[in-house]
Amino acid sequence: MNILIFTTHFNAGGITSYILSLTRGFVKKGHCIYVASSGGNMIEELKSSGGRHVDLDINTKSELSPKVYRAVNKLQSFIRENAIDVVHSQTRVTQVVGTMLKHFIKIPHVATCHGFFKARISRKIFPCWGDATIAISPQVVEHLKNDLCVSKEKIFLIPHGVEIKECAVGIQQKEEKRKELNLKKGVILGIVARLSDVKGIDVAIKAMKKVIESNPEANLLIVGEGKEGDALLKLVDELGLEKNVSFLPIINDLDNILPFLDIFVMPSRQEGLGLSVMEAQAVGLPVVASKIGGLMSLIQDGETGLLVPTENPDALAAALVMLINNMEKAKELGAAGKAFIKKNFSPEKMIDKTLEIYQGVLK
């Protein structure tokens, strides 16, 4: 098959990681993959995975932007010239593009829903979910049915798949990384996420105030970029946590950071599934996360990680302190989480099930 996947940009993040996983799997099976986007810092990774990038000026959040209509015109020609069999959209704007392409040139359209949308009237009048809609978690399935009125016959649950990685680091390597990042000698807690309100990073920072009361050498390493960056830095300053909380820009290769952490934290206010949590579990890290959305598909509280109420720094701090003071328990949770991911979220399952969806809409 010749497959065209499109998204608004191709910077490091959950959707980009999803597309890269699809690309690698599809190419191995002999399919030709094109990805259309407005570009980003992961284009070279796409090319090394066997995909081909198509420049598309579509980096907008407005469904009514002129960029949408120009993209449709450009892609109509591209689809014909390259004998594209199916198109696969990833964001609301590209779902609109995919729906228009289906209307104009009768190309099969598949959409993936990566999270939760506000139930705006435009999304109900013009749903734009395509011939089939992939939901990445059971919670997103229910959201599509109950909040956005998508027909259950068109919804298919296909969680993201992640590779299990054996990348343990030695004591000396960890100390070198600690010096490189100018961290204290204590435990290293980590968050990898875009710096947006929905990720609840402010909750983790407030929890750190409690954590260091009993563990003054503890570190919180926040990896990511986003519009909340300045506000989070200000919060760290207000709480006097400059020596315990550090920020790093987004890292394209998480193998350079995840193995050096002791505990992974995800205090989200909303989460479709939680790819960074899955990647942390895949390397055996114990995870403390919010009891919300798709995170409940990844963590069985007390067995494969710990779940805490959202918006509750005290509860988050208590869970973190418990693990810091009982690292054997933390290791047990990390090992169980890794086994759970290996059993239930393999990339091969994701690839095969997605190809089945493509073949279904082609018929």
The 3-class SS string of the chain reads CEEEEECCCCCCCHHHHHHHHHHHHHHHCCCEEEEEECCCCCHHHHHHCCCEEEECCCCCCCCCCHHHHHHHHHHHHHHHHCCCCEEEECCHHHHHHHHHHHHHHCCCEEEEECCCCCCCHHHHHCCCCECEEEECCHHHHHHHHHCCCCCHHHEEECCCCCCCCCCCCCHHHHHHHHHHCCCCCCCEEEEECCCCHHHCHHHHHHHHHHHHHHCCCCEEEEECCCCCHHHHHHHHHHCCCCCCEEEECCCCCHHHCHHHCCEEEECCCCCCCCHHHHHHHHCCCCEEEECCCCHHHHCCECCCEEEECCCCHHHHHHHHHHHHCCHHHHHHHHHHHHHHHHHHCCHHHHHHHHHHHHHHHHC
- Write down the CATH number for the domain with range 2-161+346-362: 3.40.50.2000
Angle at 115 between CA 339 and CA 320, to 5 degrees: 50
pLDDT at 224: 92
Across residues 137-143, what is the average pLDDT?
94
Answer whether CATH 3.40.50.150 is correct for domain 171-344: no
Q: To the nearest whole number, what is the mean pLDDT of the chain?
A: 93
pLDDT digit string, tens, across residues 321-361: 999 999 999 999 999 999 999 999 999 999 999 999 999 99
Looking only at the bridges linking them, the beta strands covering 188-192 and 155-157 are unpaired
pLDDT at 304: 96
pLDDT digit string, tens, across residues 29-79: 999 999 999 999 999 999 999 999 999 999 998 888 999 999 999 999 999
Share of the chain above pLDDT 90, in %: 82
Across residues 6-30, what is the average pLDDT?
94
pLDDT at 175: 84
pLDDT at 182: 87
φ, ψ at 49 (rounded to 5°) = -85, -5
pLDDT at 140: 94
pLDDT at 124 over 80: no
pLDDT at 13: 86
Across residues 166-195, what is the average pLDDT?
86
Across residues 178-205, what is the average pLDDT?
93
List all residues 6 or more positions away from 22 whose beta carbon is below 8 Å from its beta carbon: 5, 33, 88, 350, 351, 354
Asked if residue 237 lies in contact with residue 245, where contact means CB atoms within 8 angstroms, the answer is: no
Domain with CATH 3.40.50.2000 in the chain: 2-161+346-362, 171-344
Buried b (16+ CB within 10 A) or exposed e, 183-208: bbebbbbbbbbbbbeebbbbbbbbbb
pLDDT at 362 over 80: yes
pLDDT at 125: 73
Model confidence at 184, in pLDDT bands (50, 70, 90)? confident
